[in-house]
Amino acid sequence: MRRPLLPFLVAGLLPLGGCAYGLGDSYGGGAYGMGGPGFEAMAADACGAQAARYGRAQVTQVRQISRSTMRVHGTIDAGYGYQRRSFACSFRDDGRITDFDIN
């Protein structure tokens, strides 16, 4: 009896598809999800990119405030390093920034 090859081929290629989709990230290798290192990295990247619109941004702290939300803190240097401001950002597990504050 001959077995079909297609289901085995598809099952073997699924892990490779995850790497192409960003699941094999450089921040810890885990899939993005609630509470994982990938979720923390996504929050830092998204909030850092938002802050970079105002100057050179540096993320200083990322902490989980609920099961589905991370809070990111950092600094922005806006012009030759003499005008430093802080920022705070909330990032949800659906990929949205819900709050961005500059102090």
pLDDT tens for each residue of the chain, 103 residues long: 565 554 544 444 444 443 333 333 333 333 444 556 899 999 999 999 999 999 999 999 999 999 999 999 999 998 775 789 999 999 999 999 999 999 9
CA distances from 48 to 8, 66, 72, 83 (A): 41, 20, 9, 17
State the pLDDT at residue 20.
35
> Which of 86, 98, 85, 88 is CA-nearest to residue 62?
88
pTM: 0.64
| Ranges of each domain in the chain | 32-102
Is the CB of residue 54 less than 8 Å from the CB of residue 60? Answer: no
> Which of 91, 3, 60, 62 is CA-nearest to residue 99?
91
State the pLDDT at residue 2.
61
